[in-house]
Structure 1
């Protein structure tokens, strides 16, 4: 059996800005980048054509948003600003450690996270009680290029764990995204039906 876990909202709770555009603007300004007028609109607009399911780095999105308003900025400054805007406090959710350990006792275990900020998922894991070294694979949409529920996201984590989606049990809190594993051919454990504290017994039953 292969197992993967969603990260944010499943294994950890993360403090996130109430207004992402404003948080990014503040961090850009702090690094000497001019924030253009009507920044909220520029931040919300799509600037790079993408096929459905594709992920783009938020670094690239912000660079494109600035460029669309005639502002040039270095990628390093934008990357630092975006990372700082989203790098909030992390709390490990109750039952997360036991759930991951139960899955790891029965086969490879990984994380599959929708996250457009490069490096943020690993930073969150390392700031929690579940450091990234505990997992056989950490697959993030910004790295693999696909967002859940796209089947290619689940295929990416299954491949990284050395198997196929048919062998994959994915645990997550969002049926609209995490539940996509079912259409991809795997098994979904929804936290709506199976709280984290009960995941070990469900994993044991599925591995029999």
Structure 2
């Protein structure tokens, strides 16, 4: 059997800026970018017309928001600002290490995370008690282009694990996003019902059965 895990709120908790627009603005200013006076409005406006379910990388959104106010941001400043603004403090959730190990003992294991911030997942895994080497594949929405619950997000991680989506068990904390795997024929495990500490025992009951 193949298992994929959500990251934020499932395996780890991370710090986030209380005011993302202000945090990004502060980092833009350190990069020498003149932040417009109505930046809060610009940050909250939609500037990129993306298909339903598609991920818009936050640096692209920031760049478009600046451009909408006639501000040029050279030298990859939006990406640098976004990465710095969202640099996380990480706490590994109880049982996360054991849950991932249990999944790996039963078959391929992956990570599937909605995240519009480049490098955030990688930095989080460096600082958590579970790391990149614990997964056969790591799929992020900013990399694959699709956010859960879009079927292509689940298809991407399932394909990387060498299984059909219908064979995938996905563990997450959000029924609206992570639960989309069930609409694709896979199995959703809600950590509200089966927390990481209980997942090894739950998974043992699935051995030898189709999801």
Give TM class, smaller chain.
Answer: over 0.9
- 1:3 is aligned to 3
Structure-2 separation of matches of 1:201 and 1:39:
49
* Contact map agreement 2:36 2:69 (CA 8 A) in 1: yes
Structure-2 change in CA distance of 1:191 and 1:75 (3 Å): farther
* Contact map agreement 1:63 1:75 (CA 8 A) in 2: no
- 1:117 is aligned to 117
Deviations 1:40-70 (A, max 9, x none): 1111111111111000111111000000000
Deviation (angstroms), 1:78? 1.4
- 1:72 is aligned to 72
Tell me, yes or no, if structure 1 residue 99 matches structure 2 residue 96: no
Deviation (angstroms), 1:18? 1.0
- 1:136 is aligned to 136
Structure-2 separation of matches of 1:40 and 1:164:
43
The unaligned stretches of length 5 or more in structure 2 are none
Deviation (angstroms), 1:127? 1.1
SS of the equivalent of 2:41 reads helix
Deviation >2 Å, runs of 4+ = none
Q: TM-score, normalised by structure 1?
A: 0.98
- What does 1:56-205 correspond to in 2, within 5 Å? 56-74=56-74, 76-205=76-205
The unaligned stretches of length 5 or more in structure 1 are none
SS of the equivalent of 1:105 reads helix
Structure-1 separation of matches of 2:196 and 2:203:
11
- 1:36 is aligned to 36
Number of positions where the alignment pairs a residue of Structure 1 with one of Structure 2: 208
Deviation (angstroms), 1:76? 1.9
Deviation (angstroms), 1:207? 2.3
Deviates more, 1:92-101 or 1:67-76: 67-76
CA RMSD in angstroms comes to 0.9
